Amino acid sequence: MQVFRALDQIPPDFGPSAVAIGKFDGVHAGHRAVIETLAAVASARGLVSAVLTFDRNPLSLLRPEICPEPLVSNAQKLDLLKATGIDATVMVEFDHEFADLTPEEFARTILVDALHASIVLVGSDFRFGAKGSGSVDTLRDFGTAYGFEVSVVADVTGGDERRASSTWVRELLSEGAVAEAATLLGHVPSIRSHVVHGAKRGRELGYPTANLAPQIEGFVPRDGVYAAWLRVDGQRYGAAVSIGNNPTFDGVPDKQVEAHVLDQKLDLYDKTVELDFIEYIRPMNKFSGVEALVAQMGVDEERIRGILGYPPSSPRP
């Protein structure tokens, strides 16, 4: 997949293209429906399939007080888009200059002059141009004037007929419902960061953990214990992950993310790892003491082993 981070990076002979426009935060089931339609149209018409997206939520610039936390980083978004098999992604910088483009300037300079769009795919609530003044009907008018077609892709709904959205995914992750979020996303929710040195309490308890630096990419789910996969150096390992401040001990920072890798002794310090969340196990409880905590950790591990398909653990010495 080609990636362009500015319009002047797009070669003059790019296209003709089929273009899908949107934030694509999380690349959830609704986004995937758009991309599947994009790929089918591009293949049928011999066009380049391209996604036009932004380097941040426009609200972070226009209404920062109501801007939600992103589900994925830009790097994660590009990885997810690449996995769909599209030909190109244009991730433009959403700055004041871009926000001030009139709808016609947006259509002419980006869709026509840069991407040579033959067809443009959008959602039914699509808005574009300064202050969101352009609508789907406006885009169709420009399509008639400049020679591109506009297609509106129908919404994807969940089991309760609610429209698939990044907002819904955030709600599920905030509740710890990672399995349900995975269904809505079409892929498992994940985070990534590098491993740093911690207080080594897990090692002392017989459950050594990899501690993630607080600069985490992706949406961190609700505090609690999870069954997860840890990915590093092209390998995948089962893991028990805890999120929170571990109330059994004093002085643990909020939202600390720790992963205990099953059946492995790995040196992960300073390495970038990804955690794929599979199932929520329990909340972060305060235990009466270390023995009670260790006993519960053993119960958690056996349950996580069953979820991930690992054999029961050997008796601890």
Question: Where do the domains of the chain lie?
Answer: 2-152, 178-308
Identify each DSSP E strand in the chain by its residue range. Answer: 2-4, 17-21, 48-54, 88-92, 117-122, 149-152, 190-196, 210-212, 224-232, 235-244, 256-261, 272-282
Q: What is the mean pLDDT of residues 238-267?
A: 81
Measure the CA–CA gap between 246 and 248, rounded to whole angstroms: 6
Give SS3 for 179.
helix
CA angle 53, 55, 60 (to 5 degrees): 110
Span 174-192, pLDDT tens digits: 999 999 999 999 999 999 9
pLDDT for residue 199 is more than 90: no
- Beta pairing, strands 48-54 & 88-92: parallel
Alpha-carbon distance 241 to 237, whole Å? 12
Contact 55, 93 (CB under 8 A): yes
Residues 202-237: tens digit of each pLDDT: 554 557 889 999 999 999 999 999 999 999 999 999
* C-alpha angle 2-106-136 in degrees, rounded to nearest 5: 100
Mean pLDDT of 276-287: 91
Q: What is the DSSP letter of 71?
A: S
251: pLDDT strictly greater than 80: no
* pLDDT average, residue stretch 81-92: 97
CB atoms within 10 A of CB 56: 16
What pTM was computed for the model?
0.89
pLDDT bracket for residue 157 (50, 70, 90): confident
2-152 and 178-308 agree in CATH topology: no
Sign of CA dihedral 8, 11, 15, 19: negative
The average pLDDT across 277-306 equals 87
High-pLDDT (> 70) share of the chain, %: 93
The answer on pLDDT for 247 being more than 90 is no
Token pair listed for 198: 């911690």
Average pLDDT, the chain: 91
Residue 24: its pLDDT value, please? Answer: 95
Dihedral over Cα of 268, 273, 279, 282: its sign: positive
pLDDT at 206: 56
DSSP helix/strand/coil, 84? coil
Name the pLDDT band for 295 (thresholds 50, 70, 90): confident
Q: Which of 146, 179, 180, 137 lies closest to 162 in space, CA to CA?
A: 180
CA 104 to mean position of chain CA atoms:
31
16 preceded by a cis bond (ω within 30 of 0) = yes
Mean pLDDT score, 278-299: 84
pLDDT of residue 250: 54
Fold of 178-308: Elongation Factor Tu (Ef-tu); domain 3 (2.40.30)
Q: Using an 8 Å Cβ cutoff, are 3 and 53 in contact? A: no
Residue 108: which residues within 8 A CB-CB, separation 6 or more? 142, 146
**CA distances in angstroms from 100 to 62, 94, 132, 163, 200, listed in the order given:** 11, 10, 10, 30, 51
**272: Cβ–Cβ under 8 A, 6 or more apart, which residues?**
192, 193, 194, 195, 232
Q: Domain 2-152, what fold? A: Rossmann fold (3.40.50)
